[in-house]
Structure formats: structure tokens, C-alpha cells
Amino acid sequence: MKFSLFMCSPEYYGIEYEINPWMSLQRQADRALARRQWEALYGLLTGEIGVKVELIEPAPGLPDMVFTANAGIALNGDFISSNFRNKERQDESRHFKDWFKKKGYRIFELPPHQFFEGEGDLLFAGDTDAYAGYLIRSDVYSHAAVAEMLDRRVVSLELVDGRFYHLDTCFCPLNEKSVVYYPTAFDTYARQVIEANFPDRIELTEEEALQFVANAIVIGDHYIQPPGGARYLRRALQERGFEVHELEMSEFMKAGGATKCLVLKLAETSEGASGSVRDWSLFREKT
């Protein structure tokens, strides 16, 4: 799967409400420092890593718009828009949809009663399979709909720890066979599903998971994460041939996000833009 990335600068970022256990109005983010941390990530991605990054203009009053992973799913010229569970984030969707529409994407939406928070809760492992978290932010019912739209297998995984409210906070596929994850964030059945589908698993300790090291961007053999994982993860990744890049993400972790939350993959498979999303009766294509 080839991809470029989609980001939003943190011009209006801040802790303005509390919608996950990490957020506290009493612990504000330093906006200037957040800006430097975001620019360091952008610089690494566009410089040393050499990946194309598309930018959306930030909108005032939407402090979490910087977390573009939650915008939706972008695949082969189609964009499945998120249905945010929390009203504080719902206005982000129109900005994201407008941007993708202007870029020529076909826009698809889920029924309003099905919450779905994009790549925050759905991650691809290879070209054909995707894994999706549910219960805390996204609804499990949305997974069947997204699977039909993408014409791909979507494997549902129940999240049970509110600190890891999105799948991408505790689960990071390296490829179709290998994964970094924190087992305790999942219910028993989900752990069994992960064990059955990934023969190579790197299990994080609670200390490592709370460092947000699973909230990582994987590009080729590059693994981009916040500082952490020194005890087990770093060695495990290096044994598998990965180069680990650590970037300070302290200001974004105050809102419950890190490197992965700041990017959305604009993915393209070998199918190209021939239409990966099915025209299915439940979904409305915006014109």
C-alpha cells in the first residue's frame, strides 16, 4: 500500500474540554511548544523520511482538528467521513469533507447513529485486512458498514480501558503478520483474535503503553513514536530491522494523542482509483 499523509497545524490547539481520561482543564498545553513538536514531526516526515504531506487549514474553535487521524478513512480517492461521538469534535467533519471534496475525493458517510472515528479506530495491516476498535468511541455496527464500503475484511476488537480510547493508542500493525500492542487494553476475545491473526507480536508493558509508544507512524522500516519503550520495545523493533525515531510529544499527550494521532494516511492500493468504496444503499455520496 502506497500513501501520502494528511496533517493540520496546531494553530488553535489547546485543552478546551475533557473527553478522555488524559484531558484536564487544569493541565493546559503549551501552544508554542506544541507548535515546535508538530513542526519536528512534519520536518522528519517531509525531510529524512521523504513522504509527501498534505495540509488542511486549521479552523478556530476546533482545538482537536490537529488530530487528523480521526478525520475518516482515505483510500484510492474515496473518503469515508467520521461520525464523531463527542459533540465537541463533530464540527470538524465539515472542514475535513470540504477539503477532500476539493481534492476530488468521493465523499461517503455512515448513517448518523453509527459512531466511527476514522483511522483512530481502524488500521490496515497490509492491503487487504483492517482492524477496528469499538465500544469507547466507535460503534461495532459501523465496522460492518465500513467493511462493505471498503470491500475488505474488517476485524473488530473490543477496547476495555478508557485510557486507550482509540485503537491507535494501543495497537500498531507493522505489517500483515507483525503487531505492537498492549494486551490489557483489549477484552479476552479480542486478545485471542490478535493472537490468531498475528504470528509475530510485540507486547507492551503498562509502563510502555502509557508512554504512547504504540501511537506510532510506520513508514517502511521507520517507526516514529514518542520517547519510551526503552525496556523492551526498542530492542524488539531493532531486531526486526526497524529504525526507531523518537519525537517529544508531551503537549499532545495532554490531550491523549501522539505521533500517529497527528497524521491520516491517504492510501492507495494496487487497485488504484478504480473505486475501492462500493456504492452501497446505506451510504450517501455527496456531490
Residue 252 CA to chain centroid, in angstroms?
A: 14
Are 44 and 263 contacting, i.e. CB atoms less than 8 angstroms apart?
Answer: no
| DSSP state, residue 71 | S
Query: In the sheet where 243-246 sits, what is the strand order?
Result: 217-219, 222-225, 243-246
Sign of the C-alpha dihedral computed for residues 173, 66, 20 and 118 taken in this order:
negative
261 is catalytic: yes
The catalytically annotated residue of 143, 166, 222, 245 is 166
Q: Give the whole-angstrom CA distance, residue 166 versus residue 121.
A: 5
Helix or strand or coil: residue 266?
strand
C-beta atoms surrounding 273 within 10 Å:
14
In the block, cell 519503550 appears at 229
The catalytically annotated residue of 8, 170, 172, 261 is 261
- Cα–Cα nearest to 153, from 168, 179, 132: 132
Determine which helix (DSSP H) or strand (DSSP E) holds 98, and give its type and residue range: helix 92-102
166 is catalytic: yes
The residues annotated with a catalytic role in the active site are 166, 261
